[in-house]
Amino acid sequence: MTAARVVVVTGTDTGVGKTIATAALAARARAEGQRVLVVKPVQTGIGGADPDPHDVDTVAALTGADVLELAALDEALAPDTAARRAGAPLPTVADHAGRIRALAASGEHDLVLVEGAGGLLVRLDLDDGTLLDLAVALGADVVVVARAGLGTLNHTELTVAALRARGVVPLGVVIGAWPCSPGLAERCNRDDLPRVTGLPVLAVVPEGAGSLLPDAFGEAAPGWFG
């Protein structure tokens, strides 16, 4: 029995389109006939009068992929901060790695996508374990999701440098939300991202893609990959 491939999806920051990019990766794999599981180690922001949607629910609705959320916290903060404020426990990165390895080895899926929380060095547990630590522990491939606009070259290069410093060579970059009318900065960034990172732009996800109906999303997503 062959273990599933594991790919960690990280953002250069929060709000860069990581969840929709993860859904696009899942939709493309499903279009190729792969069985896909999307794992969210820690979801925050689910409490209060206006809770954030669970990222795995968004992915499942758009793609039909299997999904699993391992921990959830009410406040829309970094996981370790939200857990400390709530006095709540969190699984350690080692716990997450063990769980994901077991899922990958089960034979039920061909691809396991692991969606991070915010950026690469956001703490996922109360022992300063990060998504980078999780990617290293899993020996996983990594996809970096970046903004289209100003600042993205710096943020993306820093993220890629942090990965390479730990011996991780990312697969490439996904631009998480490409505007309908891109300006000069966006057009230049699209050209410059491969130059400054040494990585290909794997996909360009159009702004508003998350509002597509599932059939339309599944049909369109493979075409966003170059």
Residues forming the active site: 40
Under DSSP, the state recorded for 87 is T
Residues contacting residue 152 through CB under 8 Å, at least 6 positions apart: 12, 146, 189, 193
Amino acid at 143: V
Question: For tokens 């901060």, what's the residue?
Answer: 81
Question: Residues 84, 96: contact at Cβ < 8 Å?
Answer: no
Per the CB < 8 A criterion, the answer to whether 23 and 58 are in contact is yes
- Compute the distance between CA of residue 3 and CA of residue 109 in angstroms, rounded to an integer: 8
DSSP 8-state class, residue 67: E
Q: CA–CA separation, 24 vs 30, rounded Å?
A: 10
Beta strand segments in the chain, E = 5-11, 36-40, 66-69, 111-119, 141-146, 172-178, 201-206
Q: Output the six-digit token pair for 145.
A: 């999701």
